Structure 1
Amino acid sequence: MKAMILAAGRGERMRPLTDTLPKPLLAVGGKPLIVHHIEKLKAAGVSELVINHAWLGHKLVAALGDGRQFGVQIAWSAEESALETAGGIVQALPLLGDAPFLVINGDTWLDADYGALVHQPLGTDLAHLWLVPNPPQHPEGDFSLAADRVQDRPGLTFSGIGLYRPEAFALLAQGSRKLAPLLRDWMAQGRVGGSRLVGEWRDIGTVARLRALDDELAGSTN
Structure 2
Amino acid sequence: MKLTGIILVAGEGTRLRPLTYTLPKPIIPLMGKPLVVRLIEDLKSVGVNEFHVVIGHLGFLFRQVLGDGASIGVKVNYVEQRERLGIAHAIHRAIEEGANGQLIVYLGDNYFQGGVSNFVKVFMENEYDVFIVLTRHRDPTRFGNAVISDGRVVKLIEKPKEPPPNSYVVTGVYMFSDPDDVERAFKSLKPSARGEYEITELIQWFIDNGRRVSYTVTNGWWKDMGTPQDMLDLMYLMLDETKPRIEGEVKGEVNGRVIIEEGAVIEGVVHGPAYIGRGSLVGRDTVIEHYVDVEANVSINGGSISRSLILDNVRLELGKARVVDSIIGPSTRIRLSNGVNRLIIGEGNIIENI
TM norm. shorter chain > 0.5 = yes
Letter in 2 for 1:202: K
Return the match for 2:102 from 94, 97, 100.
100
Alpha-carbon distance in structure 1 between the residues aligned to 2:94 and 2:103: 11
- The answer for the alignment partner of 2:149 in structure 1 is 146
Letter in 1 for 2:136: P
Q: Deviations over 1:113-147 (max 9, x none)?
A: 5332332148675411111122x232686013335
* 1:132 equivalent in alignment to 2:152: no
- The answer for the alignment partner of 1:208 in structure 2 is 229
Point out where structure 1 has 5 or more consecutive residues left out of the alignment: none
Return the match for 1:50 from 47, 52, 59.
52
- Given that residues 130 and 196 in structure 1 are in contact (C-alpha distance below 8 angstroms), is that contact kept between their aligned partners in structure 2? yes
Return the match for 2:201 from 181, 198, 204.
181
* 1:218 equivalent in alignment to 2:239: yes
- The answer for the alignment partner of 2:267 in structure 1 is none
SS at match of 1:70: coil
Specify which structure has the higher proportion of helix.
1
TM-score by length of 2: 0.57
User: Within 5 Å, which residues of 2 pair with 1:1-222?
Assistant: 1-93=3-95, 94-97=97-100, 99-112=101-114, 114-119=116-121, 120-121=123-124, 125-134=128-137, 136-138=138-140, 142-152=145-155, 154=164, 155-164=167-176, 165-171=178-184, 172=186, 177-191=197-211, 192-221=213-242, 222=257
SS at match of 2:71: helix
RCO comparison, higher one (Cα < 8 Å, 6+): 1
TM-superposed deviation, 1:149: 2.0
Identity, % of aligned positions: 28
TM-superposed deviation, 1:190: 3.7
List, as ranges, runs of 4+ consecutive aligned residues in structure 1 with deviation greater than 6 Å.
none
Point out where structure 2 has 5 or more consecutive residues left out of the alignment: 157-163, 243-256, 258-354
Letter in 2 for 1:188: D
**What RMSD over aligned residues (CA atoms) do the two structures have, in Å?**
2.5
Alpha-carbon distance in structure 1 between the residues aligned to 2:10 and 2:81: 7
Work out the number of aligned pairs and report it.
220
TM-superposed deviation, 1:88: 0.9
SS at match of 1:68: coil
Stretch deviating more after TM superposition (33-42 or 121-130): 121-130
SS at match of 1:96: coil
Letter in 2 for 1:180: T
| Structure number with larger C-alpha Rg | 2
Alpha-carbon distance in structure 2 between the residues aligned to 1:189 and 1:84: 22
- Given that residues 6 and 53 in structure 1 are in contact (C-alpha distance below 8 angstroms), is that contact kept between their aligned partners in structure 2? yes
TM-score by length of 1: 0.88
Stretch deviating more after TM superposition (22-31 or 205-214): 22-31
Letter in 1 for 2:199: L
Letter in 1 for 2:227: T
- Given that residues 53 and 77 in structure 1 are in contact (C-alpha distance below 8 angstroms), is that contact kept between their aligned partners in structure 2? yes
Specify which structure has the higher proportion of strand.
2
Letter in 2 for 1:33: L
